[in-house]
Protein backbone atom coordinates (compact mmCIF):
# COMPACT_ATOMS: atom_id res chain seq x y z
CA UNK A 1 0.00 0.00 0.00
CA UNK A 2 1.37 3.42 -0.93
CA UNK A 3 0.42 6.84 0.35
CA UNK A 4 1.01 10.12 -1.43
CA UNK A 5 3.01 12.46 0.82
CA UNK A 6 0.93 14.98 2.77
CA UNK A 7 -2.33 13.48 1.52
CA UNK A 8 -5.19 13.65 3.98
CA UNK A 9 -6.26 10.09 4.63
CA UNK A 10 -9.68 8.54 5.22
CA UNK A 11 -10.83 5.11 6.34
CA UNK A 12 -14.25 3.89 5.18
CA UNK A 13 -15.73 0.62 6.43
CA UNK A 14 -18.13 -1.36 4.28
CA UNK A 15 -16.62 0.24 1.19
CA UNK A 16 -17.10 -2.63 -1.25
CA UNK A 17 -20.64 -1.71 -2.33
CA UNK A 18 -23.63 0.55 -1.81
CA UNK A 19 -23.31 3.59 0.42
CA UNK A 20 -19.74 2.85 1.49
CA UNK A 21 -18.54 2.55 -2.10
CA UNK A 22 -20.25 5.80 -3.07
CA UNK A 23 -18.68 7.58 -0.08
CA UNK A 24 -15.21 6.20 -0.87
CA UNK A 25 -15.44 7.38 -4.48
CA UNK A 26 -16.66 10.81 -3.40
CA UNK A 27 -13.84 11.23 -0.91
CA UNK A 28 -11.28 10.45 -3.61
CA UNK A 29 -12.85 13.22 -5.69
CA UNK A 30 -12.49 15.51 -2.67
CA UNK A 31 -8.76 14.83 -2.48
CA UNK A 32 -8.60 12.15 0.20
CA UNK A 33 -6.37 9.10 0.07
CA UNK A 34 -9.02 6.51 0.91
CA UNK A 35 -8.60 3.10 2.49
CA UNK A 36 -11.81 1.17 2.01
CA UNK A 37 -12.41 -1.86 4.20
CA UNK A 38 -14.64 -4.69 3.00
CA UNK A 39 -14.93 -8.45 2.90
CA UNK A 40 -14.93 -8.69 -0.90
CA UNK A 41 -14.32 -6.21 -3.70
CA UNK A 42 -15.65 -6.80 -7.20
CA UNK A 43 -13.97 -3.79 -8.79
CA UNK A 44 -10.33 -2.79 -9.01
CA UNK A 45 -8.48 -0.10 -7.13
CA UNK A 46 -8.15 3.37 -8.61
CA UNK A 47 -5.76 6.24 -7.91
CA UNK A 48 -6.41 7.41 -4.38
CA UNK A 49 -8.48 4.36 -3.39
CA UNK A 50 -7.01 1.31 -1.72
CA UNK A 51 -8.95 -1.88 -0.92
CA UNK A 52 -8.39 -3.52 2.45
CA UNK A 53 -9.93 -7.00 2.55
CA UNK A 54 -11.02 -7.63 6.13
CA UNK A 55 -13.87 -9.28 8.01
CA UNK A 56 -14.78 -6.72 10.66
CA UNK A 57 -16.47 -9.42 12.72
CA UNK A 58 -13.02 -10.83 13.45
CA UNK A 59 -11.63 -8.53 16.15
CA UNK A 60 -7.99 -9.47 15.66
CA UNK A 61 -8.17 -9.06 11.89
CA UNK A 62 -9.99 -5.75 12.27
CA UNK A 63 -7.49 -4.30 14.76
CA UNK A 64 -4.55 -5.39 12.63
CA UNK A 65 -5.97 -3.74 9.51
CA UNK A 66 -6.83 -0.47 11.24
CA UNK A 67 -3.48 -0.16 12.99
CA UNK A 68 -1.64 -0.94 9.75
CA UNK A 69 -3.40 1.90 7.96
CA UNK A 70 -2.90 4.37 10.81
CA UNK A 71 0.85 3.68 10.90
CA UNK A 72 1.48 4.17 7.19
CA UNK A 73 4.32 6.63 6.56
CA UNK A 74 3.18 10.13 5.64
CA UNK A 75 -0.47 9.25 6.24
CA UNK A 76 -2.36 12.07 7.93
CA UNK A 77 -5.54 10.39 9.13
CA UNK A 78 -8.26 13.04 8.95
CA UNK A 79 -11.45 11.04 8.59
CA UNK A 80 -13.10 7.84 9.79
CA UNK A 81 -16.40 6.78 8.21
CA UNK A 82 -18.12 3.97 10.11
CA UNK A 83 -20.46 2.70 7.41
CA UNK A 84 -20.43 -1.11 7.50
CA UNK A 85 -23.81 -2.54 8.46
CA UNK A 86 -25.73 -5.79 8.86
CA UNK A 87 -29.52 -6.14 8.83
CA UNK A 88 -32.05 -8.92 9.33
CA UNK A 89 -35.76 -8.22 9.23
CA UNK A 90 -38.89 -9.97 10.42
CA UNK A 91 -40.67 -10.60 13.68
CA UNK A 92 -38.23 -10.46 16.58
CA UNK A 93 -39.31 -13.90 17.77
CA UNK A 94 -38.21 -15.27 14.40
CA UNK A 95 -34.66 -13.93 14.70
CA UNK A 96 -31.92 -16.03 16.28
CA UNK A 97 -28.96 -15.26 18.55
CA UNK A 98 -26.47 -15.37 15.67
CA UNK A 99 -28.33 -12.74 13.62
CA UNK A 100 -28.81 -10.47 16.62
CA UNK A 101 -25.15 -10.80 17.60
CA UNK A 102 -24.03 -9.96 14.07
CA UNK A 103 -26.12 -6.79 13.98
CA UNK A 104 -24.88 -5.64 17.37
CA UNK A 105 -21.33 -6.52 16.42
CA UNK A 106 -21.17 -4.85 12.98
CA UNK A 107 -23.53 -1.91 13.54
CA UNK A 108 -22.45 -0.80 17.00
CA UNK A 109 -19.51 -2.63 18.55
CA UNK A 110 -17.20 -2.34 15.53
CA UNK A 111 -17.66 1.44 15.13
CA UNK A 112 -17.01 1.99 18.83
CA UNK A 113 -13.85 -0.14 18.78
CA UNK A 114 -12.40 1.36 15.59
CA UNK A 115 -13.14 4.86 16.85
CA UNK A 116 -11.42 4.10 20.14
CA UNK A 117 -8.36 2.80 18.33
CA UNK A 118 -8.03 5.88 16.11
CA UNK A 119 -9.30 8.64 18.37
CA UNK A 120 -5.93 9.90 19.63
CA UNK A 121 -4.69 10.25 16.07
CA UNK A 122 -7.88 12.00 14.95
CA UNK A 123 -7.56 14.41 17.88
CA UNK A 124 -3.97 15.20 16.94
CA UNK A 125 -5.05 15.86 13.34
CA UNK A 126 -8.29 17.65 14.25
CA UNK A 127 -10.14 15.19 12.08
CA UNK A 128 -13.72 14.01 11.62
CA UNK A 129 -15.75 10.91 12.44
CA UNK A 130 -18.86 10.15 10.43
CA UNK A 131 -21.19 7.38 11.56
CA UNK A 132 -23.78 6.11 9.08
CA UNK A 133 -26.81 5.47 11.27
CA UNK A 134 -30.38 5.23 9.94
CA UNK A 135 -33.77 6.90 10.26
CA UNK A 136 -34.71 3.77 12.20
CA UNK A 137 -32.70 5.35 15.04
CA UNK A 138 -35.44 7.94 15.56
CA UNK A 139 -38.58 5.84 15.09
CA UNK A 140 -40.15 2.57 16.17
CA UNK A 141 -39.23 -0.38 13.97
CA UNK A 142 -41.60 -3.33 14.01
CA UNK A 143 -40.10 -6.16 11.95
CA UNK A 144 -36.69 -4.60 12.51
CA UNK A 145 -36.47 -4.01 16.23
CA UNK A 146 -32.90 -5.26 16.76
CA UNK A 147 -31.56 -3.42 13.72
CA UNK A 148 -33.24 -0.19 14.82
CA UNK A 149 -31.86 -0.59 18.33
CA UNK A 150 -28.29 -0.88 17.04
CA UNK A 151 -28.68 2.23 14.89
CA UNK A 152 -30.18 4.15 17.81
CA UNK A 153 -27.16 3.08 19.84
CA UNK A 154 -24.84 4.35 17.11
CA UNK A 155 -26.60 7.71 17.10
CA UNK A 156 -26.34 7.94 20.89
CA UNK A 157 -22.65 7.07 20.65
CA UNK A 158 -22.18 9.87 18.10
CA UNK A 159 -23.92 12.45 20.27
CA UNK A 160 -21.95 11.64 23.40
CA UNK A 161 -18.67 11.33 21.52
CA UNK A 162 -19.10 14.79 19.99
CA UNK A 163 -19.57 16.36 23.39
CA UNK A 164 -16.48 14.50 24.60
CA UNK A 165 -14.13 15.46 21.77
CA UNK A 166 -15.44 18.77 20.41
CA UNK A 167 -12.99 20.76 22.55
CA UNK A 168 -10.16 19.01 20.72
CA UNK A 169 -11.38 20.14 17.31
CA UNK A 170 -12.79 16.76 16.28
CA UNK A 171 -16.05 16.76 14.34
CA UNK A 172 -18.57 13.96 14.83
CA UNK A 173 -21.54 13.56 12.50
CA UNK A 174 -24.27 10.93 12.44
CA UNK A 175 -25.99 10.57 9.07
CA UNK A 176 -29.45 9.01 9.13
CA UNK A 177 -30.51 7.82 5.66
CA UNK A 178 -33.98 6.52 4.91
CA UNK A 179 -34.68 3.65 2.47
CA UNK A 180 -31.68 3.47 0.13
CA UNK A 181 -31.31 1.34 -2.98
CA UNK A 182 -28.60 -1.03 -1.71
CA UNK A 183 -28.14 -4.71 -0.87
CA UNK A 184 -28.94 -4.05 2.80
CA UNK A 185 -32.43 -5.47 2.28
CA UNK A 186 -31.29 -8.78 0.82
CA UNK A 187 -32.51 -10.53 3.99
CA UNK A 188 -35.91 -8.78 3.95
CA UNK A 189 -39.21 -9.46 2.19
CA UNK A 190 -39.22 -5.86 0.91
CA UNK A 191 -36.89 -3.60 -1.04
CA UNK A 192 -36.61 -0.01 -2.19
CA UNK A 193 -39.45 1.17 -4.40
CA UNK A 194 -38.39 1.80 -7.99
CA UNK A 195 -39.77 5.35 -8.13
CA UNK A 196 -37.03 7.94 -8.09
CA UNK A 197 -38.85 9.95 -5.40
CA UNK A 198 -39.48 6.92 -3.17
CA UNK A 199 -35.91 5.87 -2.39
CA UNK A 200 -32.44 7.28 -1.89
CA UNK A 201 -29.41 6.51 -4.01
CA UNK A 202 -26.05 5.81 -2.32
CA UNK A 203 -24.78 9.04 -3.88
CA UNK A 204 -27.40 10.97 -1.87
CA UNK A 205 -25.69 9.80 1.31
CA UNK A 206 -22.30 10.68 -0.17
CA UNK A 207 -23.70 14.18 -0.75
CA UNK A 208 -24.48 14.40 2.98
CA UNK A 209 -20.95 13.30 3.84
CA UNK A 210 -19.51 15.94 1.53
CA UNK A 211 -21.71 18.60 3.12
CA UNK A 212 -20.69 17.60 6.64
CA UNK A 213 -17.04 17.97 5.65
CA UNK A 214 -17.51 21.24 3.77
CA UNK A 215 -18.78 23.51 6.54
CA UNK A 216 -16.38 26.19 7.66
CA UNK A 217 -13.69 25.38 10.18
CA UNK A 218 -14.96 25.86 13.71
CA UNK A 219 -18.42 24.47 12.98
CA UNK A 220 -19.86 20.96 12.93
CA UNK A 221 -23.06 19.33 11.70
CA UNK A 222 -23.81 16.69 14.36
CA UNK A 223 -26.75 15.00 12.58
CA UNK A 224 -28.14 14.84 9.05
CA UNK A 225 -31.41 13.08 8.17
CA UNK A 226 -31.88 12.24 4.49
CA UNK A 227 -35.26 11.07 3.21
CA UNK A 228 -36.91 10.54 -0.17
CA UNK A 229 -39.97 12.63 -0.90
CA UNK A 230 -42.33 9.64 -0.71
CA UNK A 231 -42.60 7.08 2.09
CA UNK A 232 -43.05 3.85 0.17
CA UNK A 233 -41.43 0.41 -0.12
CA UNK A 234 -41.88 -2.47 -2.53
CA UNK A 235 -42.83 -6.00 -1.54
CA UNK A 236 -40.51 -8.59 -3.01
CA UNK A 237 -41.99 -11.25 -5.27
CA UNK A 238 -40.77 -14.82 -5.26
CA UNK A 239 -38.93 -14.14 -8.52
CA UNK A 240 -37.15 -11.17 -6.94
CA UNK A 241 -36.13 -13.30 -3.98
CA UNK A 242 -34.70 -15.98 -6.22
Q: Which helix (H) or strand (E) holds 5?
A: none
C-alpha to C-alpha distance for 152 and 177, rounded to whole angstroms = 13
Residue of 88, 89, 147, 185 with catalytic role: 147
Query: Whose CA is closest to 122, among 83, 162, 176, 156?
Result: 162
Other C-beta atoms within 10 Å of 234: how many?
Answer: 16
Q: Which residues contact 49 (CB under 8 A, 6 or more apart)?
A: 24, 25, 28, 34, 36
C-alpha to C-alpha distance for 123 and 194, rounded to whole angstroms = 42
Is 88 considered catalytic here?
no
Residue 138, burial from CB neighbour count under 10 angstroms (0-12, 13-18, 19+):
middle
Catalytic residues: 147
Amino acid sequence: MSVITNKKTAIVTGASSGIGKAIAYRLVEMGYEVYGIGRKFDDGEKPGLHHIVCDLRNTGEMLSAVKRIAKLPDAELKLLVNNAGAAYYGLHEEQNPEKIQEMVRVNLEVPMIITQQLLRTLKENRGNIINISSVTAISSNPHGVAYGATKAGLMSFSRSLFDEVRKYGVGVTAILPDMTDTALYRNADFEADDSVDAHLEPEDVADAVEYALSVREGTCVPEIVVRPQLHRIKKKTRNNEG
